[in-house]
Structures are given as C-alpha cells and as structure tokens.
Amino acid sequence: MVNYKDLGLVNTREMFKRAIAGGYAIPAFNFNTMEQMQAIVQAAVETKSPVIMQVSKGARNYANAQILRYMAEGAVAYAKELGCEHPEIVLHLDHGDSFELCKDCIDMGFSSVMYDGSALPYEENIKISRQVVEYAHKYDVTVECELGVLAGVEDEVASEVSHYTKPEEVIDFATRTGCDSLAISIGTSHGAYKFKPEQCTRDPKTGKLVPPPLAFDVLHEIEKKLPGFPIVLHGSSSVPQEEVDTINRYGGNLPDAIGIPEDQLREASKSAVCKINIDSDSRLAMTAAVRKHLAEHPDHFDPRQYLKPARDNMKKMYIHKIVNVLGSNNRLAQC
C-alpha cells in the first residue's frame, strides 16, 4: 500500500473548490509516455498551474501501471527541479471500469480515481460508485463518477450515441454515491472525430465543419440542482485544425476530424465545470510534429530527433489550453 501523500501528490478537493470560486477549470491531461509527462510538467510549472495527470486503462496496458505510477512520482520531483516548490499534481485514474481497478490504483498511490458506471443501469452505477467512494475516502482519495453517456471512442470506452445527463437525477446520484465530482454529458465526445459531418454545418468560407453547440441549458440546470458541486467535462479536445492539416500534409489521413470549439470550453470553465479532459489534442500535436520532422529529415533515425519537437509542440498546446482556454495559470496555492 502506497499513500499518494508520500509521493508528493494531492487530491482534487481543494483544487476544485478554488476553481469553482475562481471561475476557471483544472486541466486533466492524459499521459502514456515520458515525453507527454515532461511536456505536461513543463507547461504546468511555467504557467504556475495545478494539473491533473490522468491514466486510462489503455495507458496502463500500454506503459505498465507501475511505470506510470513512478512517472507521476517523478513528475513531482521534476516540477521541483524546474523551480516550482509546491507543485499541485494529481495522479488520476481515467474511466475506471470496476471496483477492483479503482482499488488497485488507490493502493499504488493514485490521489484520485474515476469510476465510470455510466453504461450500467442507474441503480447498479450508484451501487459500485458508492463502493469505490467508501474505499477511496478511507485514504482521502477523491472520486469522480459519471452520469449520462458520451459518444465517441477513447481507449476502452466507446459509445455510438450520447445521452445527456438528466438534471433530475443528479441530486439523488451525488447524495447516494458520496462522489466528489460528477462527469456529465452535455455534447462533448471522445476522440478526434467528435461529430459526424451530418451533425455539423459547414463554414462556407473555409469548408471546415462547425460542430453543434454544447448543451449549456443542461449544464446550468445541473448547477442549479447542485450548487458549488464540481462538474467534469470529458472528451473536450478542440482538435486544432492546423495540427490536422499538418498531419494530412505530411502523409496522414484524418478527413473531417473535429472537436469542441475553445470558446465553448472557455465559457464552461467559468461555471461549476472545474475539470476539463484533454487527450486527443496531445496525440494530434505529437503526431503532427513527428510526421513533419520525419518528412523534412528523411535521414534522421534517432528517436530523440523527432520526439523533441513532438514534446515541444505538446508543451505549446498545453500552455495554450491553460492560459487561453481554462484560465488555470497562476492558481497555485503557494508558488
């Protein structure tokens, strides 16, 4: 049993309280590789932002659970070495799909876990969520649960259609599970293809797809039911078209990849939404930089030659999100 506090990590409780009061959101960036971890820490330190580093079940399968845990511990040490004396880094399990997986993460030093029972019948979701919360709270680990179903594909999580969260259920759900934050479905979606072209309109000037707006009416109704309660948005990459264009220019094939416009995320950040999950944008930033570098330097074969620009490009994207979209810069309790 490893307690996250011994690793220098923090849970989300205080962070979310401040985010709601301050009208901003904490970035939750997924990581699988050392370069992603370095870019996330560099961006968080330079902007003095709290940050959630999250690990999906797919990431655990790819990188190995122990390695990711030590990387998060290393992230704290790295942030300090970069000059941040009191970094606020959360190690969070993204989309835990069983009590056992959540328990395993808590036991190995995660400071926060998500239990995602959103695909289960309502009562079953409550039952297992409650079980995870009871275990987690013994160790002061915070728990995110989910109501409503997001469309799209993300690692093991996939759904054809979305179901918005029903505002009339949230009080009952939050009370009976005891969860610390609630992931809701208001039209965000997993992956780099968040919407089908037929759900969108096309900008006549650029020919690019314009996605349907998020359901802010549902969000505001939920906020009214649960005043001051931390809300989480999954699937909130913006799929920057310049990265998609770079990928396509250098041999990629991502037609009509589309995300959530950043102005909508900025608006959501000002509400009770205090955690915004961004994964695909990092994948796109990495792939765009690697493709461009290899196309321009066909003689390069040292991975450091193409992973360095990939890391720099991800860092630029993380800083942009923190400063221009979520507003979490300069929000550390102590510098």
HSE-CB of 319 using CA atoms within 13 angstroms: 14
Distances (CA, A) of 275 to 70, 90, 127, 212, 258: 23, 12, 24, 21, 21
Q: 3-state DSSP call for residue 24? A: coil
**Closer residue to Zn ion, CB minimum distance, 234 or 291:** 234
Cβ-Cβ contacts under 8 Å for 194 (sequence gap 6 or more): 151, 152, 188, 211, 235, 237, 239, 258, 259, 260
Using CB under 5 A, which residues numbered 283 to 322 contact Zn ion? Answer: none
Which residue, 92 or 315, has its beta carbon nearer to Zn ion? 92
SS3 279: coil
Q: Which is nearer to Zn ion, 186 or 290 (CB)?
A: 186
Distance in Å, CB of 95 to Zn ion, minimum = 6
Element (H, E) at 276: strand 273-278
- CB-nearer residue toward Zn ion: 45 or 51: 51
Tokens of 117: 């029972």
Q: How far is the CB of 18 from Zn ion (least distance, A)?
A: 23
CB nearer to Zn ion: pick between 63 and 323: 63
Handedness of CA 133, 154, 323, 216 (dihedral sign): negative
Q: How far is the CB of 77 from Zn ion (least distance, A)?
A: 28
Minimum separation from the CB atom of position 278 to Zn ion (A):
10
Chain position whose Cβ is nearest to Zn ion: 234
Number of residues counted as binding Zn ion (CB under 5 A): 1
Distance CA(335)–CA(88), nearest Å, equals 10
**Extended beta strands in 83-171, E state:** 89-96, 112-115, 142-147, 151-154, 157-159
Least distance in angstroms from the C-beta of 43 to Zn ion: 20
Cα angle 37, 309, 78 (rounded to 5 degrees) comes to 30
β-pair partners for 157? 154
Q: What backbone phi and psi angles, to 5 degrees, belong to 88?
A: -115, 95
Give the residue numbers annotated as catalytic, written as ranges.
94
Listing DSSP states for 118-143 in one string gives TTS-HHHHHHHHHHHHHHHHHTT-EE
242 exposure class (CB count in 10 Å sphere: 0-12, 13-18, 19+):
exposed
Nearer to Zn ion, 57 or 292 (CB): 57
Q: What does the angle CA 311 – CA 324 – CA 43 come to, to the nearest 5 degrees?
A: 30
CB of 164 to Zn ion, least distance (A): 16
What number of CA atoms fall less than 13 Å from residue 190's CA on the CB side? 19
Site string for Zn ion, 212-241 (x = CB under 5 A): ----------------------x-------
Q: Write down the least CB distance from residue 190 to Zn ion, Å.
A: 6
Which spans of this chain sit near Zn ion (rule: CB under 5 A)? 234
